[in-house]
């Protein structure tokens, strides 16, 4: 029983972090119809930069999120201007291939700068735990989840309350109509992409403490994130949160009751099942697809 509760609680804590990491991917997809396969590599990049800052200056890696977020925002903006901008309106597979190229470049750069060895930021609290009854909760896990929820809340407020948020939602609903009412879709797309990438700043900082990582880890991350957004419904932010929590629990349960080896299979299995059984995901909408072509 304790084992079960432990697995569920751990899964939910992981899920909170996953939700933040998946939010950027789903936001970019929802507005721009681009699957940013490089999102996993960007998370690892943020993790490496967090690790480097911690290693050089002793900056607390979780606090590093504050610095990493604007840094990743700028990187995201740069990526949009140089590459993504040019493939808007091309067939969907183009964006997957292009961003895969980006992921390879980022992986190469990280290997070049930091070498392909396992890294991990280890502040003094990283192996301390809270205990509630029989349940152990790693402090880093709890802090990480709390930060993730905080950043998600900020993101939610930006999307709901600000003009930019309304513009983003308008473009995601209908790009040509948004243009008619004075929203410039390319500005919105640039900002959306930059914000989507900025979420990897905090996400990567948290991941740097929670998991050991190396440049090639991005495949595991992108598979997990794709699993989450496919499960939740591609393009849906609430869907990403629900999908993340479910996937977090599914992974810890598989690791606890079957074997950690098969836990890596969970995201892929989820993707296959969801896309085949309910392609629009849990919270994705089935829109009237026959009207505009």
Which residues contribute to the site for other proteins (CB under 8 A)? Answer: 29, 35, 83, 86-87, 90-94, 96-98, 100-109, 111-112, 116, 215, 219, 223, 226, 230, 234, 261-262, 264-265, 268-269, 271-272, 275-276, 279, 285-291, 293
Backbone angles phi, psi at 132, to 5 degrees: -125, 105
Report the residue number, 27 or 226, with the smaller CB distance to other proteins: 226
Least CB distance from residue 271 to other proteins, whole Å?
5
CB nearer to other proteins: give 16 or 232.
Answer: 232
Distance CA 290, CA 268 (A): 31
Match 């607390």 to its residue by tokens: 60
Minimum Å gap between C-beta 188 and other proteins is 21
Which phi and psi (to 5°) does residue 138 adopt? Answer: -65, 135
Alpha-carbon dihedral sign for residues 77, 78, 84, 86? positive
Distance of closest approach, residue 83 Cβ to other proteins, in angstroms:
6
CB of 111 vs other proteins, minimal distance in Å = 4
Closest separation in Å from C-beta 242 to other proteins: 18
Select from 220, 214, 195 the least CA-distant residue to 47. Answer: 214
- Using the minimum distance from each CB to other proteins, give the nearer residue, 113 or 158: 113
213 in helix, strand or coil? strand
What 219-222 contacts at long range (C-beta under 8 Å, 24+ apart), as own/partner pairs, is 219/40, 220/40, 220/264, 221/21, 221/39, 221/40, 221/43, 221/44, 222/37, 222/39, 222/40, 222/41, 222/103
**CA distances for 75 relative to 4, 40, 103, 199, 228, angstroms:** 41, 14, 13, 12, 24
Taking CA 224 as the corner, what is the angle to CA 83 and CA 61, rounded to the nearest 5 degrees? 80
Of 74 and 258, which has the nearer Cβ to other proteins?
Answer: 258
Closer residue to other proteins in complex, CB, 70/279: 279
Least Å distance between CB 68 and other proteins?
22
Q: How far is the CB of 118 from other proteins (least distance, A)?
A: 16
Tokens, residue 256: 């606890």
Nearer to other proteins, 133 or 286 (CB): 286
CA distances (Å), 254 to each of 18, 109, 137, in order?
17, 34, 19
Tokens of 239: 């869907």
- By C-beta, is 164 or 271 nearer to other proteins? 271
Q: The tokens of 6 are what?
A: 């432990």
């Amino acid at each position: 029983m304790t084992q079960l509760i432990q697995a569920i609680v751990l899964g939910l804590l992981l899920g909170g972090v996953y939700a933040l990491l998946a939010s950027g991917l789903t936001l970019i997809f929802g507005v721009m119809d681009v699957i940013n396969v490089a999102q996993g590599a960007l998370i690892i990049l943020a993790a490496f930069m967090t690790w480097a800052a911690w290693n050089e200056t002793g900056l607390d890696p979780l606090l590093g999120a504050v610095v990493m977020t604007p840094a990743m925002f700028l990187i995201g903006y740069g990526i949009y201007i140089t590459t993504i901008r040019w493939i808007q309106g091309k067939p969907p597979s183009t964006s997957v291939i292009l961003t895969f190229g980006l992921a390879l470049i980022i992986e190469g750069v990280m290997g070049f700068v930091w070498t392909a060895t396992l890294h991990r930021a280890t502040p003094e609290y990283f192996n301390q735990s809270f205990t509630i009854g029989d349940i152990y909760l790693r402090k880093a896990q709890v802090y990480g989840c709390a930060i993730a929820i905080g950043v998600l809340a900020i993101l939610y407020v930006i999307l709901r309350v600000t003009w930019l948020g309304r513009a983003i939602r308008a473009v995601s609903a209908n790009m040509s109509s948004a243009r008619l009412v004075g929203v410039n879709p390319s500005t919105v797309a640039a900002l959306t992409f930059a914000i989507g990438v900025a979420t990897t700043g905090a996400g990567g900082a948290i991941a740097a403490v929670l998991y050991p990582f190396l440049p090639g880890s991005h495949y595991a991350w992108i598979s997990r994130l794709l699993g989450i957004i496919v499960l939740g419904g591609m393009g849906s932010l609430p869907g990403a949160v629900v999908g993340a929590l479910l996937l977090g629990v599914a992974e810890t349960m598989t690791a606890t009751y079957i074997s950690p080896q098969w836990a890596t299979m969970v995201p892929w299995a989820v993707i296959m099942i969801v896309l085949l059984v309910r392609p629009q995901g849990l919270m994705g909408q089935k829109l009237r697809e026959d009207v505009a072509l």
